[in-house]
Amino acid sequence: MAKYKIIVNPTSGRGNGGRSIPLIEDALQRRGLEYDLIRTERPWHAAELARQAAHDGYDVVVSGGGDGTANEVVNGLMLAKQDGKPAAMGILSIGRGNDYAFGMTVPNGVEAGCQVLADNKRHWVDVGHVVGGDYPQGRYFGNGVGVGFDAVVGFEALKLKWLTGFPSYIVATLKTVYIYNGVPLRVVHDNGSFDRTCLMVSIMNGRRLGGGFMMAPQGQADDGVFDVCVARQVGRGRVFTLVPHFMKGTQATQPEIEMVRTSKLTVTALQATLPVHVDGETLCTNGTEITVQALPRQLEFVHSGVEAS
């Protein structure tokens, strides 16, 4: 029988993580799963706990929280794999955006998530690695890296203490329209390069950002490449008309949007600096260059087998 290490961030989802702990334990016990549960206490603690759990012989290490907690668990498991101590990963979606879980076909909520763990269906997925900004040594990621507008949206959403989930990203988007303009960039990818003033460059291993923006509707986490959404600089009014397309995943039909598939990408600021997020966490607020690499099928993942919608 698989042995599960459940790592819960009690502050995720504006405290939903902590409130969910009794529900998680009840759901796991009813399903007869062998587990240990531990709470995170500080930033990067989930990465440390995940790495140690793999060393301690747990079969599955589960992130209980949102995208930030999941990102730390991904990093911990990748470091453990380098140590020769691999373990599979699971997610309980009890955070704010839960976008990585969406791309990995893990449903929201405790009951549904615990059932996925009990069913224990697994597949191997790609992991991304980004170098630059505040992480010159590099940082792994599961869902995506955003440069420009979508990074600032995430930063602004974190400031909204009175909102959570997708509504917080909608409000943050409206605010970001008035505080952020595009930056001249050089983008180098597998099939060429271009210099362009861009509103944003979203580098996706998953499919969704911000709890409801389908940045890469055709994205697959096991194909060895990123789906990159490049948006040219546009006026404020045009941003408002593009938002519904991103919510529906139809932005590629618009002339200002280009989709690129690549296993490696370098983004360089030709002027000003780059705000960048990685799985919703701050990579930098004023970087100058990042390099992103897809690492094919590096992580065994417990999933539902049913595509999320």
Q: Which pTM does this prediction carry?
A: 0.94
Q: Whole-angstrom Cα distance, residue 141 to residue 135?
A: 12
pLDDT, mean of each 10-residue run, the chain (309 residues): 94 92 98 98 97 98 96 98 98 92 94 97 97 96 95 86 78 88 95 96 95 93 97 94 96 97 98 93 94 98 75
- CA-based nearest residue to 161, from 281, 43, 13, 60: 13
Map residue 290 onto helix, strand or coil: strand
Domains of the chain with CATH codes: 3-119 (3.40.50.10330), 131-296 (2.60.200.40)
pLDDT value at position 145? 97
Query: In this structure, what DSSP letter does residue 252 have?
Result: G
Cβ partners under 8 Å of residue 255, min gap 6:
none
Beta strands in 119-273 (DSSP E): 121-132, 135-141, 144-148, 183-189, 192-204, 226-232, 257-262, 264-269
Taking CA atoms, 70 is separated from 93, 205, 277, in Å, by 9, 14, 14
Cβ partners under 8 Å of residue 113, min gap 6:
90, 91, 92, 93, 94, 101, 106, 107
pLDDT value at position 158? 78
- CA-based nearest residue to 117, from 141, 136, 92, 135: 92
Q: Whole-angstrom Cα distance, residue 157 to residue 173?
A: 8
The CA dihedral of 139, 145, 151, 155, to the nearest 10 degrees, is -40
Q: Whole-angstrom Cα distance, residue 297 to residue 222?
A: 6
